[in-house]
Amino acid sequence: MQRFIIKGQKPLSGEIKVNGAKNAALKFLSAALLSADKWTLSNIPQIEDIFTLAKLIQSLGVNLSYDKDAFSVHAIQDPKTDLNPDLAIKLRASVLLTGPLIARCGHVFLPYPGGCAIGQRPIDIFLKGFSSLGVKIKAKNNGYVLTTSSLRGNKFFFPQVSVTATETLMMAACLARGKTLLWNAACEPEIPFLADFLNQCGAKIKGAGTPFIEIEGVSRINGGDIAMMSDRIEMGTFAVLAVACGNNTIKIINCQPEHAQSLWLKLKEAGAKIKLGPDWVEVQHANNIRAVDLKTQEYPGFATDLQAPFCVLMTRARGVSLIHETIFESRLFYTDILNHMGARIIMADPHRAIVVGPTQLCGQKIISPDIRAGIALLIAGLMAKGETIIENIYQIDRGYEKIEERLRGLGADIKRVS
């Protein structure tokens, strides 16, 4: 088991580069199974969730190889269709494979997917969506067997906006007979990015990036090459970290600032000094951070994945802020750990936390609960007086590549020990 040891309050400054987007790369690796031709994907982040999904895809008999950030996926023959439960349980994104597999092979065994412990995370919307496309569903061995003789296009209204359900049904509908209309679809930027590439490979998708997606089924998806878009959550995390810990200018490069408008708004409201370029963000040191309220929403609202880092920043803000997490019901429990470090956070209910600031965090021995709370606690460690030890850093490595090396480039005192 590895851990991070952080000596807090070091002055941070300099430049940090954003990697390829985890939540795009997972979808592209899965979508590659729609095609019998080769997909070559670059700028893929070297993180645990990608390696787990790669292993799961290889276990289906698909040719998948990689060298650093460049992946090649070639599902030349029809893949196997039973997902390995031991791998599927490790990440929620395993459910994405059901779309391409059911469309291409007409059968999937989906063990109940795992992932971050941030809420109940049911899969009812996927099942309802598949059912509307003509898929028969049977519960079996702690999972589901999905079968169809042929997918047929239909109209499906998402009862709740869901990112991966939108992507999964959009992928499946590419090879369905006729037209599929997906209404109340999620609008996250990774969705039009995937749709544009699928269109380059022969799919017929219109409206991705809006709540109304129209897909005309085609008989095959071709091969192609693409570099992943940059990770908007990593960009946002670095920006919050820069406001929280920077003692001079921190420049975040290789990013797409237009993908985090609601974050820039909140950070500026809090008194942060931020300059946005076409592919960079510059954060200048600001002494006085004010408390602001925050409510997470679907894109383009404030991303739930940035809620925990923002909450950590609010511990050093003057005043009282209300952090309202609307998407996941267990995504505020890390606030207990912040209190252990000296914060004053009151949980009003599972969805709302009240942060009273400013407080001085102090180093403690803590455990990373999930990817985003994990990185938020790492930021807390950088802000804290004294030494913080973070255990279970697998939960940070799942989403952030070699984070300690990259933060050392800004002057952080952080090391990984076994």
Q: Does 43 bind ligand EPU (CB under 6 A)?
A: no
CA distances 266 to 27, 67, 290, 306, Å, are 29, 39, 10, 11
Q: Name the minimum Å distance from CB 11 to ligand EPU.
A: 29
Report the length, in residues, of the chain: 418
Q: Which is nearer to ligand EPU, 22 or 104 (CB)?
A: 22
List the structure tokens of 161: 């906006």
- Binders in 308-367 for ligand EPU, by CB under 6 A: 327-328
Residues 352 and 310: beta-carbon distance below 8 Å? no
Q: Does 148 bind ligand EPU (CB under 6 A)?
A: no
List the structure tokens of 271: 């008194």
39, 71, 126, 310: which one binds ligand EPU (CB under 6 A):
126
Bridge partners of 414, per DSSP, are 6
Q: Does 133 bind ligand EPU (CB under 6 A)?
A: no
Which of these segments, 163-171, 211-219, 234-242, 279-287, binds ligand EPU (CB under 6 A)?
Answer: 163-171
Q: Does 185 bind ligand EPU (CB under 6 A)?
A: no
Q: Which is nearer to ligand EPU, 254 or 326 (CB)?
A: 326
Residues in contact with ligand EPU, counted by CB under 6 A, come to a total of: 26
- Name the burial class of residue 67, with classes exposed (0-12), middle (13-18) and buried (19+) by CB atoms within 10 angstroms of its CB: exposed
Give the count of beta carbons closer than 10 Å to the beta carbon of residue 340: 13
Question: Which 3 state secondary structure label does DSSP give 324?
Answer: strand
- Binders in 253-292 for ligand EPU, by CB under 6 A: none
Q: Does 229 bind ligand EPU (CB under 6 A)?
A: no
Residues 95 and 126: beta-carbon distance below 8 Å? yes
Cis, peptide link before residue 358, omega less than 30° from 0:
yes
**Type of residue numbered 36:** A
Q: Name the minimum Å distance from CB 415 to ligand EPU.
A: 24
C-alpha to C-alpha distance for 91 and 315, rounded to whole angstroms: 31
Q: Does 18 bind ligand EPU (CB under 6 A)?
A: no
Q: Name the minimum Å distance from CB 194 to ligand EPU.
A: 11
C-alpha to C-alpha distance for 176 and 180, rounded to whole angstroms: 8
Q: Which residues contact 124 (CB under 8 A, 6 or more apart)?
A: none
Q: Does 399 bind ligand EPU (CB under 6 A)?
A: yes
C-alpha to C-alpha distance for 137 and 152, rounded to whole angstroms: 15
What torsion do the CA atoms of 320, 323, 329, 333 make, to the nearest 10 degrees? -60
Q: Name the minimum Å distance from CB 92 to ligand EPU.
A: 5
Based on the residue annotation, tell me whether 116 is a catalytic residue of this protein. Answer: yes
Question: Which 3 state secondary structure label does DSSP give 230?
Answer: strand
11, 61, 122, 277: which one binds ligand EPU (CB under 6 A):
122
How many angstroms from the chain centroid is the CA of residue 108?
A: 24
Q: Does 31 bind ligand EPU (CB under 6 A)?
A: no
Q: Does 305 bind ligand EPU (CB under 6 A)?
A: yes
55, 121, 251, 385: which one binds ligand EPU (CB under 6 A):
121
Q: Name the minimum Å distance from CB 52 to ligand EPU.
A: 12
Q: Name the minimum Å distance from CB 96 to ligand EPU.
A: 7
* In 8-121, beta strands by DSSP E: 12-17, 38-42, 63-67, 70-74, 107-111
Q: Does 23 bind ligand EPU (CB under 6 A)?
A: yes
Q: Name the minimum Å distance from CB 342 to ligand EPU.
A: 26
Q: Is 147 left (phi over 0), alpha (psi -120 to 50) or beta?
A: beta
Q: Does 124 bind ligand EPU (CB under 6 A)?
A: yes
Q: Does 94 bind ligand EPU (CB under 6 A)?
A: no
Q: Does 230 bind ligand EPU (CB under 6 A)?
A: no
List the structure tokens of 308: 């925990």
Q: Within the chain, how many helices (H) and strands (E) appear?
A: 14, 23
Q: Does 34 bind ligand EPU (CB under 6 A)?
A: no
Q: Which is nearer to ligand EPU, 364 or 368 (CB)?
A: 368
Catalytic residue among 116, 174, 201, 245: 116
Q: Which is nearer to ligand EPU, 109 or 328 (CB)?
A: 328
Q: Does 169 bind ligand EPU (CB under 6 A)?
A: no
Q: Which is nearer to ligand EPU, 92 or 406 (CB)?
A: 92
Q: Which residues contact 257 (CB under 8 A, 6 or more apart)?
A: 235, 264, 276, 277, 278, 279, 280, 281
Q: Name the minimum Å distance from CB 133 to ligand EPU.
A: 15
Chain contacts with ligand EPU (rule: CB under 6 A): 23, 26, 92-93, 116, 119-126, 160, 162-165, 186, 304-305, 327-328, 371-372, 399
Please list the active-site residues. Answer: 116
